[in-house]
Amino acid sequence: MKRLIAATLSLTLLATAAAPAMAAPYGAGGRDDHHSQKGHHDDRRDPPRRGHKLDRDHRGEQVRDYRHHGLRAPARGQEWRKVDGRYVLIAVATGIVADVVLAHR
């Protein structure tokens, strides 16, 4: 009986010691891959969405001929940008996304 208890206890200790070592570390392809160690979230890997702020360094190129691309005229203070294969309508002053359309060209 003592051997059975000792063997069970040994296996339990081995399993709990090995479990953290088997977990994938940050940067090994997990969801937390785009978080830096300081806790900063890099939105550039996420697709732009309505209501979210688009960082100034990730606003892409301005689309001036919006009619040619089938886009509606931007309101005052807004402009169309091409970001990651999408046309994104943003507020110029804040970078808040007002609309997102997939780019066909």
39: phi > 0 → left, psi -120 to 50 → alpha, else beta; which? left
What percentage of the chain exceeds 70 in pLDDT?
Answer: 67
Q: Which amino acid is at 31?
A: R
* pLDDT, mean of residues 46-67: 89
Task: Inform me whether the pLDDT recorded for 25 exceeds 80.
Answer: no
DSSP tag of 35 = B
| Nearest of 76, 72, 77 to residue 99 by alpha carbon | 72
Bigger pLDDT: 29 vs 87: 87
d(CA 105, CA 100): 15
pLDDT at residue 29 greater than cutoff 80? no
Q: How confident is the model at residue 22 (pLDDT cuts 50, 70, 90)?
A: low
> C-alpha 2: how far from its chain's center?
53
